[in-house]
Structure 1
Amino acid sequence: MQAETTTRGAVSDLAYPPRKPSRLAQIARELGKNKHYYILMSPYMIIFFLFTVIPVVFSLGLSFFYFNMLEFPRFVGWENYARLFLNDDVFMIALKNTFMFAVITGPISYFACFLFAWIINELSPKVRAVMTLIFYAPSISGNVFFIWLIVFSGDSYGYLNGILIKYGFMLEPIQWLTNEQYILTIVIIVQLWLSLGTSFLAFIAGLQTIDKSLIEAGTVDGIKNRWQELWFITLPSMRPQLMFGAVLQITGAFAVADISIALAGFPSVNYAAHTVVTHLMDFGTIRFEMGYASAIATVLFGLMIGTNMLTQKLLRKIGE
């Protein structure tokens, strides 16, 4: 009798298997299990959603409206984007300058950050601390624009003009910051000088956390030089820091504005140093065409997301 009951129970289990919990039930169980962590994270998440996620979504929706801060928003569909790409010649200049700026400063500053971090990491702790401060200081200096304005001053008292005149390279000073031939190059140089910022510190931290036993194991497995060690051990172990640095460099390269305004003015001569962000500031904070400014911001956001996805795909190939 007992065997028959057991057999019927087994057949019943096979006929009616236990239901798999729904996705909502799994999420609820996960929240209940780790509720203390989510409570600790909640202040940051609330601020992040209020001041980052919601404004981005609101800006995306507003890009389909005409809104001048005085009248009620009026739906115009794709008109803002059509005007942006078909009728706004200044935006096309800004887009070209931004791409040129990003293509040059992004990769160079990224590799420079890692190269200097890798070299400095090999030094003794005290020397490493001093060198880290020296390389990081320009990115937090408050008078950096003032210094470069003196260097590229258009009179004979400017450092660059004074040196070139003194050694006979030219007879008259050059107006570096009002000549469209030189403006963008100067902005790129200054940005590269400022690029050793948070990414540089992240790479230093990542190099410090690499497990030394991996290097010893790699030596046993046949790694013969530092370049192989770098490719197969160091870089794969630093993927989180590499991704963090890439996001910062991409954002900094596409969002350049302060340097351009401080050095070349707003707007610059013939828009020679005009970028997407300065174009956004023009329509958002001066003309108050908020719908059009939102369209510019959405295009910039899409460029950053696309570049970020491409960078992630490239970083996954490290160490393969």
Structure 2
Amino acid sequence: MQKVGKWQQLKIDVKRNKVSYIMLTPYFVLFFIFTVLPVVASVVIGFTDFNMLELPHFVGWKNYIRLFLEDDIFKKALKNTLIFAVVTGPLSYIMCFLFAWVINEFKGKVRAFLTLIFYAPSISGNAFMVWAIIISGDRYGYLNGWLMKWSFIYEPIQWMQTEKYVLPVLIVVQLWLSLGTGFLTFIAGLQTVDKSLYEAGAVDGIKNRWQELWHITLPSMKPQLMFGAVMQITQSFAVADISINLAGNPSVNYSGATIVTHLMDYGSGTRYEMGYACAIATILFALMVGTNQIVQKALRRVGD
């Protein structure tokens, strides 16, 4: 039997399912125009000197050499971003699943109410305002007031003006806001697990909830686990609004700077160094894709 090549197999699939491909065409067109093309353009512009007023001028690897050898702020932003990703990424992912797992044990309106409570901070427009009050640098800030009341401190701490406190506070706020789309995905995934699998598992010797979780629940939720991982990775690497709203841009000694805030600094405002900004964006994109691949390989082994 003659072996069919990949392109020939693709042509056969397209002919066989042409109606489905026709229905998907508008999405593919929009995805190509608004996602693929901008990414490719960003990579290309990253090798140029472009200020949006003149035509791009090719400079080769100059922007990347400048990033890693001359830009000390980028090195600090890269370090902060990696700390954010390593700490908030796994923690927020685990939190999303554990909270979803617990909430899924409730029924009907109680489950819906608890889901809303946990999901609300991620969509609240006043989230930063709440934390600004909590970590206010005077004695009227809730955190300072509580610490002074119990004699842990004797004068207010300027949380967002003291370099050593900025990053830990931002990490805490990021974790508080992390129960977003991934959390809802896990809730939905848990509700679609076939209940008969648990009965079959009990017959095969599964004795407790942890064994059910590892051998039945998690393998049944691999698509949701993959999607949740993508969302949490993107969220942990793309931190910017939290830092800007609470620590300012620039923050004290750039202690709250991230790759995205550095990108915004060069891609907008008064700089408009778009070639350099695109080089920063390319580095961020490569970090996200690389981390994504590692996490997906790890998740494929779940339940093995």
2:70 alignment partner AA? N
1:42 alignment partner AA? T
Alignment of 1:151-230 (within 5 A): 151-230=134-213
Are the structure 2 counterparts of residues 112 and 23 from structure 1 closer, same or farther at C-alpha, using a change threshold of 3 Å?
closer
Q: How far apart are 1:21 and its partner, in Å?
A: 6.5
Match of 1:272 among 235, 255, 262: 255
Q: Alpha-carbon deviations, 1:257-299, whole Å to 9, x = none?
A: 0000000001101000000000100111121111111111111
For residues 134 and 266 of structure 2, the distance between their equivalents in structure 1, rounded to whole angstroms, comes to: 32
* Structure with larger Rg: 1
Counterpart of 2:104 in structure 1 is 121
RMSD across aligned positions (CA): 1.4
1:101 alignment partner AA? F
Counterpart of 2:71 in structure 1 is 88
Are the structure 2 counterparts of residues 242 and 77 from structure 1 closer, same or farther at C-alpha, using a change threshold of 3 Å?
same
Between 1:33-42 and 1:294-303, the stretch displaced more is 33-42
Match of 2:220 among 233, 237, 250: 237
The number of equivalent residue pairs is 303
For residues 183 and 193 of structure 1, the distance between their equivalents in structure 2, rounded to whole angstroms, comes to: 16
Q: How far apart are 1:25 and its partner, in Å?
A: 4.8
Secondary structure at the counterpart of residue 91 of structure 1:
helix
For residues 224 and 243 of structure 1, the distance between their equivalents in structure 2, rounded to whole angstroms, comes to: 27
For residues 177 and 24 of structure 1, the distance between their equivalents in structure 2, rounded to whole angstroms, comes to: 56
For residues 8 and 207 of structure 2, the distance between their equivalents in structure 1, rounded to whole angstroms, comes to: 52
For residues 286 and 104 of structure 2, the distance between their equivalents in structure 1, rounded to whole angstroms, comes to: 36
For residues 143 and 150 of structure 2, the distance between their equivalents in structure 1, rounded to whole angstroms, comes to: 11
2:179 alignment partner AA? L
Counterpart of 1:5 in structure 2 is none
* Counterpart check, 1:293 vs 2:280: no
Between 1:158-167 and 1:175-184, the stretch displaced more is 158-167
Q: How far apart are 1:69 and its partner, in Å?
A: 1.1
Unpaired runs of 5+ in structure 2?
none
Secondary structure at the counterpart of residue 273 of structure 1:
coil
Alignment of 1:281-320 (within 5 A): 281-286=264-269, 287-320=271-304
For residues 274 and 21 of structure 2, the distance between their equivalents in structure 1, rounded to whole angstroms, comes to: 36
Counterpart of 1:48 in structure 2 is 31
Task: Give the TM-score taking structure 2 as reference length.
Answer: 0.96
Are the structure 2 counterparts of residues 23 and 113 from structure 1 closer, same or farther at C-alpha, using a change threshold of 3 Å?
closer
Match of 1:138 among 118, 121, 124: 121
